[in-house]
A = this chain, B = another copy of it.
Amino acid sequence: MPHYTVIVTLLAVLFYFFLATRVAAARNKFNVKLPAIAGHPDFERVFRVHMNTLEWMPIFLPLLWLCAIYFSDGAAAVVGLIWIVGRVFYFVGYTQAVEKRLPGFFIQAIACLLLLIGAVTGIIMRLSLA
């Protein structure tokens, strides 16, 4: 098992869970009652932070693991940490203003691109050796 990637997976899942608690807190603060998912822009930005991170989980997790399995556990774990850092910036920025989401968004997108490159490189190397 790629142990470093396992640890980064746990950290990513925990940070993603933390974002869900921020949505719940924003619901209370801005008085957006369930089952509504809109009603106050300050709530909606926090909601979108969580939702966008959810939207990227089926991109991030498969690429992270394919990169770990086919290329390198250590490399995948380091880039996975960069993804989490990008997501932290995205959360902090987007909570303040819509435009401020972009630096963190691009960091996490580039991390996914690197994981893709690692995975594809590893797969090509493996299949060309087979």
Contact = CB atoms under 8 A, between A and B. Distances in A.
Contact of A98 (B35, B61, B69, B127): B35
Contact of A35 (B14, B44, B123): B44
Contacts of A16: 58-59
A57 B16 CA distance: 11
A47 B20 contact: no
When all copies of this chain in the complex are counted, the total is: 3
B3 A34 contact: no
A61 B59 contact: no
A2 to B, nearest CB: 11
Mostly helix, strand, loop or mixed at chain A's interface?
A: helix
B54 A45 contact: no
Nearest to A54: B55
Contacts of A116: 10, 14
B13 A58 contact: yes
12 contacts: A1-B69, A6-B123, A10-B120, A10-B123, A13-B58, A13-B62, A34-B45, A34-B98, A34-B101, A35-B41, A58-B58, A58-B61
